[in-house]
Structure 1
Amino acid sequence: MVKKLVKGNVALCEGAIAAGLDAYFGYPITPQNEVPAYMSRRMVELKKVFIQAESELAAANMVLGACASGKRAMTSSSSPGISLKQEAISYMAGMEIPGVIVNVQRGGPGLGNIAGSQADYFQAVKGGGHGDYHLIVYAPANAQEMYEIAYNAFDVAQKYRNPVMLLCDGIVGQMMEPVDFNKEPKTKFEDRDWILDGCKGREPRSLKSLLMQDGVLEQHNLDLQKKYKTIEENEVKAELYQVEDAEVIIVAFGISSRISKNAIKQARAKGIKAGLIRPITLWPFPSKIIESYAKPGVKFFSVEFSLGQMVEDVKLAVNGKCPVDFLGRAGGGIVSDKQVLDKIEELAKK
């Protein structure tokens, strides 16, 4: 085990490399610039593929091609760059090609600013591109999770033949923290009977998202929905923090959850029973977990670096059983622990 003080973006890179990353394709944009910069050195040292593509569109399509041939490939960007990658991401979902996409979010809309944000939630969990599809979406809250989730993301993508996104925020990406590099490098992987690796000695294969025959595309979509149902049944991850007796429950992810935890400690010191449900998977969303704590007398609120996106899924999960409120900041604004504490106290008095 080796512990190092590194940025979250660097921890992410080392997690992906330990997972057996064969190729990285990227394009510079802040606040994820450490990722392509670090990969430009490390991938060359490891005699793996690094390409700074001519655009975000090109980088995403390079990942599609590399993963179709059975390689482990990844791309990363920040919010506007991820918008440009959406067409290829939709193609990957339709073709059932596994790959890993990283969004270290910045303030938006438009070019916005380079401050950390969480306003790409809708884009990540509701599709982003065209068609009925889902990405598996993880939200790391610290540098250690950047490393560990990146390490596991490739296996999950391969298991379900589905793209995986790490939805990070700029603060976690830029924050330096001690990280235990405790994972064994992966070198052996199961044979896959769908990859395009040359058809000498076997029947040709194809991967495509253009399905023109009558009814074929609809059946393909129905098959995808069955897969998504399986993912929802098996891959939900969430952290529960002091929720068993909580009368005020916060739902928050990423850096917002860390700020909320600090406020909860202060609230508990004042005798207010507050707790936290932190979704680690934003899709599949921990709806059943949230629902299980939605009881008379309990009040929920969502804390986000946005003007209210995840809160809609919290309301759907609670399903009218108790009130759901919201606290957020937009455009790279940061919610403080004092603001969260004030909200806890306000709801506790009601």
Structure 2
Amino acid sequence: MKEEVRLMKGNEAIAHAAIRYGCDGYFGYPITPQSEVLETLEELMPWETTGMVVLQAESEVAAINMVYGGAASGKAVMTSSSSPGVSLKQEGISYIAAASLPALILNVMRGGPGLGTIQPSQADYFQAVKGGGHGDYHLIVLAPSTVQEMVDFVGLGFDLAFKYSNPAMILADGIVGQMMEKVVLPEQRPRRTEEEIRRQCPWATNGRKDGRKRNVVTSLELESSKMEVINHQLQARYREIEKNETRWEEIGVEDADYLIVAFGSIARICDKAREIAAEKGIKIGIVRPITLWPFPSEAISKAAEGKKGVLVVELNAGQMVEDVRLAVHDRLPVEHFGRMGGIIPSPEEVVDALEEKIINKK
């Protein structure tokens, strides 16, 4: 397939990107607002064109364990779900991280807690960035704000996952998953041969029955001293990822008096708020974290220099704001503005919140 320009939903774009970036297997389960990923893959039938396996599992738990098995064999595998479904996957995600396996997970966030609402949210920040499951581990977390980034981050997510032998997550809110935009789909990436997989993934289990060594992939280690060594190895890898893979975007930061930090679709709303504020003589700059982990703490700290205050805007009760406060180190006021329950703030509301919480605060 050649490069192609299309108009499509974010969820549909994920499915097309998975095929074109050479995904070997997708294992999922329907849940709003991300069900179009599985539906689009079933419609496209990539098993007839690229050999990609597409399977609707019997549950979210089954799906993530299928990903675990596929990743253990060196395949490029992924799953997708929405907030409650990702909660069910957490044990398996922790196992995959502990076993140092590459995999890609998509979370199109909906409001919670509990079953909550099918409307958009960003309330899974803690779950994705702080580990979600048990143990000391990190996912590489990418936060798209456009449908084009939904496409691009499939390729980037797989590349980073295999580069560092670590699972990656695309953390999208329901707005990005459901909205339609023009996208450029990449050319078809050739699928790897079995020889290439063996060369690139020497750790992969191979199922040999010919007497030669068989690799065993596991997250279990009963000796405490050995388990500590494994943990130190993981932490060293995380430091390397922090050093090399932190990503962010800045808009109008240098000449601004105030700073807004937002991710995903809300950063786009804040960009419009920046234009409205400029008409009132208020100069706003925006930092949009692209990697939520590793978090761009140094970039935010630098962007905050000389500013009068920072407003963190999220579709939640206040989660990323904690990391922004740590980055700023109490050098200036950091306030939070968020909507919950699937309510999306208008750009005017963002400007009002900045004035109320920072500019006019006594």
Q: Which TM class, normalised by the smaller chain length?
A: over 0.9
SS at match of 1:116: coil
Alignment of 1:84 onto 2:88: yes
Which position in structure 2 is the counterpart of 1:321? 331
Q: Answer yes or no: is the 8 Å Cα contact 2:84–2:114 preserved in 1.
A: yes
| Aligned equivalents of 2:341, 2:185: Cα separation in 1 | 33
| Aligned equivalents of 1:214, 1:338: Cα separation in 2 | 55
Q: Answer yes or no: is the 8 Å Cα contact 1:267–1:345 preserved in 2.
A: no
2:206 maps to which of 175, 178, 197: 197
- Show structure 2 runs of 5+ residues with no match: none
Against the structure 1 CA distance between its residues 100 and 297, is the aligned structure 2 distance closer, same or farther, given a 3 Å change threshold? closer
- CA displacement, residues 95-115 of structure 1 (integer Å, 9 cap, x when unaligned): 001100100011100000100
Alignment of 1:118 onto 2:103: no
Against the structure 1 CA distance between its residues 214 and 123, is the aligned structure 2 distance closer, same or farther, given a 3 Å change threshold? closer
Alignment of 1:214 onto 2:224: yes
State the identity %: 52
- The size of the alignment, in residue pairs, is 350
Q: Answer yes or no: is the 8 Å Cα contact 1:2–1:182 preserved in 2.
A: yes
Which position in structure 2 is the counterpart of 1:7? 9
Against the structure 1 CA distance between its residues 205 and 262, is the aligned structure 2 distance closer, same or farther, given a 3 Å change threshold? same
SS at match of 1:112: coil
| Aligned equivalents of 2:224, 2:349: Cα separation in 1 | 55
| Aligned equivalents of 1:31, 1:341: Cα separation in 2 | 29
2:166 maps to which of 159, 162, 178: 162
Q: Answer yes or no: is the 8 Å Cα contact 1:296–1:322 preserved in 2.
A: no
Alignment of 1:44 onto 2:47: yes
| Aligned equivalents of 1:73, 1:182: Cα separation in 2 | 18
Alignment of 1:310 onto 2:313: no
2:59 maps to which of 44, 55, 60: 55
Cα displacement (A) at 1:186? 3.9
Which position in structure 2 is the counterpart of 1:30? 32
1:174 maps to which of 149, 164, 178: 178
Which position in structure 1 is the counterpart of 2:23? 21
Which position in structure 2 is the counterpart of 1:276? 286
Q: Answer yes or no: is the 8 Å Cα contact 1:8–1:146 preserved in 2.
A: yes
Alignment of 1:229 onto 2:233: no
| Aligned equivalents of 2:168, 2:148: Cα separation in 1 | 18
Q: Answer yes or no: is the 8 Å Cα contact 1:296–1:321 preserved in 2.
A: no
| Aligned equivalents of 1:74, 1:115: Cα separation in 2 | 24
Aligned residue identity for 1:206? V
Q: Answer yes or no: is the 8 Å Cα contact 1:290–1:317 preserved in 2.
A: yes
- CA displacement, residues 24-55 of structure 1 (integer Å, 9 cap, x when unaligned): 10101000010011112323343321111000
After TM superposition, the structure 1 = structure 2 runs for residues 251-262 of structure 1, keeping only pairs within 5 Å, are 251-262=261-272
Moved more, 214-223 or 155-164: 214-223
Which position in structure 2 is the counterpart of 1:334? 344
Cα displacement (A) at 1:65? 0.1
Q: Answer yes or no: is the 8 Å Cα contact 2:262–2:312 preserved in 1.
A: yes
Which position in structure 1 is the counterpart of 2:98? 94
Q: What TM-score results when the alignment is normalised by the length of structure 2?
A: 0.93
Moved more, 180-189 or 306-315: 180-189
